[in-house]
Amino acid sequence: MRLGVLGPAQGDLPALARGAQRLLDEGHAERVLYVAEDDALDRVVEGWAQRLVGADPTEGAAFARALRCAAATPAEIDAFVASERARLRLRLLRSLPPGQRTIEILDGRVALFVFDKAALDEEDVVAASLLVFGKSSEPLIQRVGARTFFSPGPIGLEGGAALLDDGQGGVRIEVMNARGAVTAREIVGPAAVGPRMRVQGGSHG
């Protein structure tokens, strides 16, 4: 799976929109998660949906929009179908629930997503191999024992967007800046082999 991650927008909705668009179109992300505590991505998505299908882009209004196709030309019907498909694609963009966390399984590993890593307790840390958080002044990839802590950093010049790809063994992390260039890369590979057991009291022949 290719999972996109977006850091806090800090009020810069155009930059957030560009990052989300890049993860979908160029990064081919199957889903994108916004790890912040605001509604910036929801506002971006609502604006896109309104431009695609009109002032009321909700699912409940889809039937009313479809009724307009009764007297439409083939070209108008094709345009309607294309716009609705584009609207449904926006479901790939999700925000982290405020004050909550979510879990993904990547390459058989537990990846925990949270805004503020200070909210994690010992049980959370023990269970996860990859801990992704949004609250950080800059992009960060840090290994601590068998675990990797990762933040894309805020939307800006040096980071703010990332791809997590588990398609080739391990989890490849790529951090991208505002121009789409990769600024950091790390692979969270298989767990290290544990130390060999030492048998006490054995005898040698």
- From the first residue on, what is the mean pLDDT of each consecutive set of 10 residues in the chain (205 residues)? 96 95 95 96 94 84 82 86 88 91 91 92 85 95 91 90 90 92 86 38 39
The pLDDT score that the predictor gives to residue 116 is: 94
- Crossing angle between the packed helical segments 74-89 and 40-53, to the nearest 10 degrees: 170
Buried b (16+ CB within 10 A) or exposed e, 153-184: bbbbeebbbbbbbbeeebbbbbbbbbeeeebb
User: How far, in Å, CA of 131 to CA of 21, rounded?
Assistant: 24
The pLDDT score that the predictor gives to residue 134 is: 95
The pLDDT score that the predictor gives to residue 190 is: 59
User: How far, in Å, CA of 109 to CA of 130, rounded?
Assistant: 7
Q: Which residues pair with 75 in a beta bridge?
A: none
Q: Which domains does the chain have, with CATH numbers?
A: 1-37+100-205 (3.60.21.10), 42-95 (no CATH)
Report the chain's C-alpha Rg in angstroms: 21
The pLDDT score that the predictor gives to residue 42 is: 96
The pLDDT score that the predictor gives to residue 38 is: 95
The pLDDT score that the predictor gives to residue 194 is: 39
The pLDDT score that the predictor gives to residue 26 is: 94
The pLDDT score that the predictor gives to residue 43 is: 96
